[in-house]
A = this chain, B = another copy of it.
Amino acid sequence: MVIENNFSLDHIDLAILRLMQDNARISNVDLAKALDLVPSAVLERVKKLEKKNVITGYNAKVNPAAVDLKLLAFISMKSSQSFSCNDTASELAKIPDVQEVHVIAGDDCFLVKVRTTDSASLMALLRDEFSKVPNILSVKTTIVLETVKEQQQLVIPQK
């Protein structure tokens, strides 16, 4: 599948993305070896990818259990103003424990991903934070029992 957009990435750029998605701390030297290029050339490309907002950041992935965040939940909500739901969404986005906020099509209006210590802290979050968010008509909370897969790496196509 050929990429047709204004980011104009060639196969080397895509290879860089593939490698750095899995190992953001790879050195330029190792990147250069893997791509059969010279380090300075790779460095320029990486900087360009950052400037073009193709690479939007580098994150260490932290084990949630290690920092006592053992509960994951998805919360879907209906809004009373479905055509101007952006205030609601941005208020939801301000809540630190909220990892994701999506405006969705279908029965509900928002889908929110939340991580807390336990069910008690989720309850507190709903009571103290979500209750203040405007225009919410209904809330449906789905508790995650087990996460089988959770990756942010994208499937990056060939050329």
- Interface residues of chain A, those whose CB is within 8 Å of chain B, are 1, 3-5, 7, 9, 14, 17, 20-25, 52-69, 72, 74, 86, 89-90, 92-93, 96-106, 108, 111, 115, 117, 142-157
Contact = CB atoms under 8 A, between A and B. Distances in A.
A55 B59 contact: no
Quickly give the copy total for this chain: 2
B67 A154 contact: yes
A156 B97 CA distance: 10
Most-contacted residue by chain B among A3, A5, A68, A99 (CB, 10 A): A68
Given A66-B9, A101-B149, A59 B155 contact: no
Given A67-B14, A104-B143, A147-B102, A61 B5 contact: no
